[in-house]
Copies of this chain bind each other. A is one copy, B any other.
């Protein structure tokens, strides 16, 4: 079965580097969805978004927090959305930023990749707990059928992310140490196109660092948040790509999913238009 990195490369070759982030905010949903209980409403909305954006992207990223906000019913919606996305042929990245010590990390990985639970293709993980907190995720990703992937937080897109990520450690910013570890963690997980299964999250809001990290980690997939509503532009993410146009998926959440006001009758058309525009911009930025 194809390595995760190769499946992601195929998706990007076919559909471009746009990754649509699913952050369903109840108060922003179309009026007709908000008539239903929140869990039902966010599920209904996300399932429709999947169909609307399918022609424009091959990767989707549900954000666990916005589902968790509605408790067990929210997670039931998240499960439907992840399962349906897989059925529609998307590569799915569960953005849950999990991280814990050994046996607990194994449980989180079991949830993320388990066929009966979320069955996601990839999971975002937080590196702060160190070596033996990441290894169980890697092991679980490689043992799954088909194999799955991870995206480790390296340099996040938020303005206050530098507090620890930019602290100097032996003269280099701390996030560079994490980046080095990510390169190491790819040992044994490289696919046919030279990419590994342990990717890095690097924000679009730091274009200079994005380019430096691209050069330092040529075999690592990047998940680049912060494009669109958070202020990152297509120009900002240009450096995230390798010359062959691969190497990064760029996620847009609010920009693509919520371009409308709740009472707009043409909200579906607005999503389609936003996805079309993001796809074109990012295709061009990637050179792919």
Name A's B-contacting residues (CB within 8 A): 23, 63, 65-66, 68-73, 75-76, 79, 97-105, 107-108, 110-111, 114, 116-118, 126-133, 135, 153, 156-165, 167-170, 174, 177-178, 181
Q: 3 tightest A-B contacts by CB?
A: A132-B160, A131-B160, A130-B163
Q: Are B107 and A133 in contact (CB under 8 A)?
A: no
Chain B, residue nearest A65 (CB): B107
Q: Are B107 and A68 in contact (CB under 8 A)?
A: yes
- What's the least CB distance linking A47 to chain B, in Å? 16
Which one of B73, B76, B158 contacts A133 once the chains associate, using CB atoms below 8 Å? Answer: B158
A13–B10 alpha-carbon span in the complex (Å): 60
- What's the least CB distance linking A95 to chain B, in Å? 8
Residues of B within 8 A of A133 (CB): 156, 158, 160-161
- On whether A104 and B63 interact (CB within 8 A), knowing A79-B71, A169-B168, the answer reads yes
Q: Are B101 and A164 in contact (CB under 8 A)?
A: no
- On whether A129 and B111 interact (CB within 8 A), knowing A71-B117, A97-B98, A116-B71, the answer reads no
Which one of B69, B117, B153, B181 contacts A129 once the chains associate, using CB atoms below 8 Å? Answer: B153
A35–B178 alpha-carbon span in the complex (Å): 44
Q: Are A129 and B107 in contact (CB under 8 A)?
A: no
Q: Are B162 and A130 in contact (CB under 8 A)?
A: yes
Residues of B within 8 A of A68 (CB): 107-108, 111, 117
Q: Are B69 and A101 in contact (CB under 8 A)?
A: no
Which one of B76, B135, B174 contacts A72 once the chains associate, using CB atoms below 8 Å? Answer: B76
Which one of B76, B110, B174 contacts A69 once the chains associate, using CB atoms below 8 Å? Answer: B110
Since A101-B157, A101-B158 are in contact, a sample of 4 more A-B pairs with Cβ atoms closer than 8 Å, ordered by chain A residue number, is: A72-B79, A126-B128, A129-B160, A133-B158
Residues of B within 8 A of A130 (CB): 156, 158, 160-165
- What's the least CB distance linking A203 to chain B, in Å? 9
Chain B, residue nearest A111 (CB): B68
Q: Are A128 and B111 in contact (CB under 8 A)?
A: no
Residue contacts A-B, CB under 8 angstroms, 17 given: A23-B104, A65-B98, A65-B104, A65-B105, A66-B104, A69-B111, A71-B117, A72-B72, A97-B100, A97-B129, A101-B156, A101-B157, A126-B126, A127-B164, A128-B156, A133-B158, A168-B169
Which one of B128, B156, B168 contacts A164 once the chains associate, using CB atoms below 8 Å? Answer: B128
A167–B174 alpha-carbon span in the complex (Å): 9
A158–B135 alpha-carbon span in the complex (Å): 12
Which one of B65, B126, B160 contacts A111 once the chains associate, using CB atoms below 8 Å? Answer: B65
